[in-house]
Amino acid sequence: MAMFFWIGTALGVVAGMLHASLVFRRRLAEGSGGIAEAVYFAAWTIALWIMFGAYVMAFWIVGLIGMALSRIGRRARVAP
C-alpha cells in the first residue's frame, strides 16, 4: 500500500511538473498578474498533482480494468 502511494506520488510529481510548465506559459501569456501569478498557478498545479497523484493513479487503474471488461462484454454480446 505504502509502495503504491509513493509510486503514485512520484508519478504525480512528474505529471505536475509537465502540467505546471503548460500552466505557467499560458498564464504568462494570458494573465494580468505577470510572472508572480504564473508562478503561483504553476506551484498550485504541482501541489495538487503531488497531493492527488496516488488517487489519480488508482482511478486510472480502475478505469483501465473497467474499460477492458466493458470491451470484453461488448464483444461477447456482439459475438454469434
38-57 binders of other proteins (CB under 8 A)? 40-41, 44-45, 48, 56
| Least Å from the CB of residue 18 to other proteins | 9
- In the block, cell 509537465 appears at 18
Residue 62 Ramachandran class (φ > 0 left, ψ -120 to 50 alpha, else beta): alpha
Kindly write down the DSSP assignment for every residue of 14-25, as one continuous string.
Answer: HHHHHHHHHHHH
Of 3-11, 29-37, 72-80, the segment contacting other proteins by CB under 8 A is 29-37
Interacting residue ranges for other proteins, rule: CB under 8 A: 19, 22, 26-27, 30-32, 40-41, 44-45, 48, 56, 59-64, 66-67
